[in-house]
Amino acid sequence: MAVTAPAVAVAVAAMGLAASPAAASPAAAVPTATAAPQLGCACTAADLGTRHPYIKSTEVSPTITHFKGWYVTEGTTGNHTVVTSTRTVITVSVDLSGGVEASFAVATLEAASATLGLNVKVAYSTTSSESNTVAWSFDQPGYYGVYKGTKKVTGTYGSLNCKRSQQSDGSWALKWGEGPGAGSFTTYTTLEEGAVRCQDMVPAGSIMAKAQSLLDCGPAAAEDERPAGAVAPTINVTESNGVIEATLWNWGNGGCATIAAPNAATERAVLMTAACAEDDLQRFYIYRDVPGSSKIGVQNKYTGSMMGHDRYADGEFIRQYSSGRQDGTGTYSLDAV
């Protein structure tokens, strides 16, 4: 089978065919800009050799990339340069390879930007390359969260290919249909920086509100005898349908409970204490017994494994078990402190 045209034929060895560009009128030979292809819409013979992404799902979440709790006392207001700690690193990626050099990957991110109406990064970049120093003028004393943050954009995409489709009357037509190739992407908007206090009124769902949630806004936060720059521990806690999502803070050393990243997939990996960070390895779901009971079960958010232990003994570690402990040694008591 061969299709002739005034062009050099390209051998398609795998099919044993010779293929060359289809003959077309001069007016149709020059492609023109068109609207983005839509699933199920008509395409033309000129589109048979093209592929386009379409966005299947998206999620936008305010994320704090750098953070520092900062006390400003009487006599220390004015300009401060605060060196924040990196909490979350977001890297622009399309699929697990992370590469965004290919035109299809760039088109995927551009499609996500258009879908959401947000200006997102469409080339490889990472928030870890951004400076973590924030210069801010504090005009009144208080306990502040000094932060940098962004909107993290994640989602999934599919691939649109032009292919023939049989109509209800038995005829055939070319339409955009889902082809092979799908995956996920991650990107982010421009970094925002600022400072926020516990008592500040901020827009719900904003980056500033996310930063405010990291502050320790309990009674201790109102104490003004702490020196400027003193840092208080932070705990994120939310509850939905009776299930608590929380960071487990070690009052003894100021660290947070975590499963070490290299051991995340390991059965019986030990629950450790590490420097607190906004990381799902340090987030836990707490399942509560019926009202009146203090009994709970604990699950790591990142690994999905339940916490438990092999035996009661001094020095015995709490560990993760993918299916939990069937003998009740993964049930604990939640005590007020």
HEC sequence for 4-48? CCCCCCEEECCCCEEECCCCCCHHHHCCCCCCCCCCCCECCHHHC
Listed by start position, the domains of the chain span: 51-197, 235-333
Would you identify the CATH topology of the domain 235-333? Trefoil (Acidic Fibroblast Growth Factor, subunit A) (2.80.10)
Q: Report yes or no: 326 and 292 within 8 Å, Cβ to Cβ.
A: no
Lowest mean pLDDT among 119-123, 298-302, 310-314, 323-327: 310-314
Does 145 have pLDDT greater than 70? Answer: yes
Give CA separation, 277 vs 15, 75, 87, 192, 313, in Å: 54, 31, 5, 19, 30
pLDDT tens string 271-287: 998 888 878 999 999 99
Tell me the average pLDDT of the chain: 81
**149: Cα separation from own chain's centroid:** 13
| This prediction's pTM | 0.56
Query: Which amino acid would we find at residue 298?
Result: V
User: At 308, is the secondary structure helix, strand, or coil?
Assistant: strand
Question: What is the predicted pLDDT for the residue at 258?
Answer: 93
